[in-house]
Structure 1
Amino acid sequence: MLAGALAALPLASRAEAQAAPLDPFTNDEAYWRQVASQYDVTRDVIQLENGNWGMMPRAVLEVYRENLARVNRDTSYYTRRGYGRDAKAVRDQLAQAMGVPAEELAFTRNATEALKALILGYNRVGKGDSVLYADLDYDSMQACMDSLARQQGAQVVRIALPEPATRDNLIEAYERTFRENPRLKLVLLTRLSHRTGLVIPVREIAAMARARGIDVIVDAAHSWYQCDADIASLDCDFVGVNCHKWLGAPLGMGAIHIRKSALDRIDLDPAEGVDHGIWSRVHTGTSDFAAILTAPAALAFHQSIGNKHRMDRLRALRNRWVSQVRHIDRVEILTPDDPELHGAITSFRLRDVTSDDGNTKLAAALLDRHAIFTVSRNGVGKGACVRITPALFNSIEDVDAAAQAIRQLAGDWPQ
């Protein structure tokens, strides 16, 4: 099933895909329609809220069903005898895709579980030290940083990232904060924000932190397979990722990466009594074996398209709707047009509509009036917003409809 679906895509190889970028606006819409046809998408609405988790293409879903049936049929007769070998092979493939050694990677059920283990297990913060996070970081991870500081008698430093953002002012914001907080020990960096879609220059910021003896934990829940195919390029010691978002593996699969040289900075999980390396830093209990076994099928699907093609397409869909509304006086686009600072996700707000309630109502109006499904996001320093998140199954017509709807709302929404 999977092999047939991949063969239907008119790209000869991953290498060819990487070498020959396509123009998604002109001669290759037929190709992207073919990609979209691999997904069974609801026709009740235009689905532009794809940040919660990623839809599996049909062929990957079939592989998952087969794996689920096998695990359900053979139960522990399989999991106690053959699963360990198969799971190791899956781990090896994921590690190769991420560009990291396999022994530095372990499965989790999601990025939150991975990041919780990293933050609460970090053992180099003491009384009077500081930890740092930003307004665009994920709520649960902010709460974990608060909890770590509270338990260790440390201080929390919280910053709001610049808006509008540039590469230079993002780096400067962190550099200034590092300079002003000489006892800073740990910083949380979100590669791609779930709130606005802002992509920050993690590698450069992490290098500055390292030079000052500050450790970095990277939240790559949204960036892995939305913009980056590997995490090695980030050059960081601690990273949490999701496999069920932009890779499109089944729900309930993520991963934790800890460099071997940094392993002693993360304590064993309280449920672990013996140190078995990275696997002892997170205790998941029973995992979804079928989901883990399906990850290679998801990797194969995306590798048949090619990383550059995927990134270019997602950015093109984003740019299409943004370019039609950015000039409207009342519309504020929260993500810059610099391709290094955004992926697919981008949020907007209407001027003077900054409350949670106001943006919840805007998202409801997009759904009720225009059958466009989005989601409101809060916690941004300058006010709440509405997030628009296209995926590979979305069309130019989908994002054009979103632009038209935003244009109408900007004209008639009460100030």
Structure 2
Amino acid sequence: MSASPIASQRHRFAIPDGVHYLNCAYMSPLSHAVAEAMVTGAMRKQTPWEYAPADFFESAERLRDRAGKLAGVAPSTIAIVPSASYGLAIAARNVPLAKGQSIVVLADQFPSNIYVWRERAEEVGATLTSAHRDAGSDWTDAVLDAITQDTGVVALPRCHWADGRIVDLVRVATRCRELGAALVLDLTQSLGAMPIDLGAIRPDFAVAANYKWLMGPYGTGLLYCDPRYHGGRPLEHNWINRAGSEDFAGLVDYRDDFQPGARRFDFGEKSNPPLLSGAIAGLDFLLEFGVEAIAETLLDKTRALASEAERLGFASAPPEIRAPHILSLDFPGGVPRELLETLAQRQVFVSARGSSMRITPHLYNDARDSEALIDALASR
């Protein structure tokens, strides 16, 4: 446990004093360091004669190294993808699924982790099964109840994108292994904000987009691939993923083999200097503090906000069943549109998801942001 919460890092972001941005689950702001890294990366194409063949590979490996540290896995198990949906499409293409089997998902799960499985189920004659939780619980029991002998794939987040309630992935992974079901994770709303040891969970695949809790640019993401899939089928066949591609003079000596590990799944034109440089800088920011300390600090923020909101009559899930970085305030009839507009007019930015107001702070937030939100809710 950390001795004290991490001090506000607002000075490292271009957030004006009067703006109260509590919406990291929507999109994180770029820190000065990330923005500067992206600009520097973009300027490298001004002088392409200085961009050596080795540069096509070096930044990708630096990103892989940092991602491995963040997730507790070997860098060779990480593929670089442009989006969560791209990574999920790779998973759907490679995990086994047979006619009559089921794919277990959460009720109201994020669409990118639904559409790909609907299509896969239709292709093979499988079914999609949605787990529905009880009102006062997390999602774990609901998922375990939905998994049966006929389950072929379990495709889940670590926490629900709308209500923030968690799934105990260790328990779910154990059940999947007992039944021989594949486990595919979308960690876009948790990686970087919650500690995780993928080496202990051992999913088949796990993906995360960089533009939320990984503090990086839009258009990049990370895909963990269990080693048993390192001989799998990529979505595309680009030159750089083939073995020997470092030798530009020999590129027309066509190869059937691939770069080692999960690199075969990297997307084409991954060696994009501004995107890779920004993604690396975003991970460096997280690794500077450590995800465990970040999670503890964000839990302090959301717990304090929940207490103040409860005083105003708003209900939320207790900390033990929700993610530390996501606070959802219940609005049984749905969040009034005019309330979000009023908050925005007061420069307070949150999201409406389902029947909840989703509040998602980060290290750039301070006490003034929390006070502005509570004052706005009190005067609604």
User: Shorter-chain TM-score: which interval?
Assistant: 0.7 to 0.9
The aligned counterpart of 2:64 is 91
2:121 corresponds to 1:140: no
Q: Distance in 2 between matches of 1:263 and 1:131?
A: 23
Structure 1 gaps, min length 5 = 1-18, 25-30, 379-383, 410-415
Correspondent of 2:352 among 376, 387, 390:
376
Paired residue secondary structure (2:185): strand
The aligned counterpart of 2:127 is 155
| Equivalent AA in structure 2 for residue 36 of structure 1 | R
Q: Distance in 1 between matches of 2:18 and 2:209?
A: 27
2:339 corresponds to 1:366: no
2:315 corresponds to 1:332: yes
Deviates more, 1:127-136 or 1:59-68: 59-68
Q: Distance in 1 between matches of 2:53 and 2:35?
A: 25
Paired residue secondary structure (2:214): coil
Q: Distance in 2 between matches of 1:302 and 1:286?
A: 22
Q: Distance in 2 between matches of 1:126 and 1:210?
A: 17
The aligned counterpart of 2:233 is 267
What number of residue pairs does the alignment pair up? 362
Deviation at 1:105, TM superposition (A): 0.9
Indicate conservation of the 8 Å contact 2:81/2:266, yes or no: yes
2:369 corresponds to 1:398: yes
The aligned counterpart of 1:311 is 295
The aligned counterpart of 1:116 is 89
Correspondent of 2:14 among 16, 22, 40:
40
Residues 245, 274 of structure 1: alpha-carbon distance in 2 compared, 3 angstrom cutoff = farther
Paired residue secondary structure (1:332): coil
Deviates more, 1:47-56 or 1:76-85: 76-85
Q: Distance in 1 between matches of 2:196 and 2:47?
A: 34
Indicate conservation of the 8 Å contact 2:331/2:357, yes or no: no
Deviation at 1:79, TM superposition (A): 5.9
Residues 288, 42 of structure 1: alpha-carbon distance in 2 compared, 3 angstrom cutoff = farther
Deviation at 1:171, TM superposition (A): 3.0
2:131 corresponds to 1:131: no
Deviation at 1:372, TM superposition (A): 1.3
Correspondent of 1:301 among 285, 289, 298:
285
Q: Which has the higher helix share?
A: 1
The aligned counterpart of 2:185 is 218
Deviates more, 1:312-321 or 1:81-90: 81-90
Indicate conservation of the 8 Å contact 2:22/2:348, yes or no: yes
Q: What is the CA deviation profile of residues 333-361 of structure 1, one whole-angstrom value per residue up to 9, with x for unaligned ones?
A: 2x3321x631212222323x13xxx5434
Indicate conservation of the 8 Å contact 1:67/1:290, yes or no: yes
Residues 345, 274 of structure 1: alpha-carbon distance in 2 compared, 3 angstrom cutoff = farther
Deviation at 1:135, TM superposition (A): 1.8
Paired residue secondary structure (2:79): strand
TM-score, normalisation: structure 1? 0.79
Q: What is the CA deviation profile of residues 355-414 of structure 1, one whole-angstrom value per residue up to 9, with x for unaligned ones?
A: xxx54343223223x331112113xxxxx22211112111122113222323333xxxxx
2:138 corresponds to 1:173: no
Q: What is the CA deviation profile of residues 265-297 of structure 1, one whole-angstrom value per residue up to 9, with x for unaligned ones?
A: x53325469452533345444553322134343
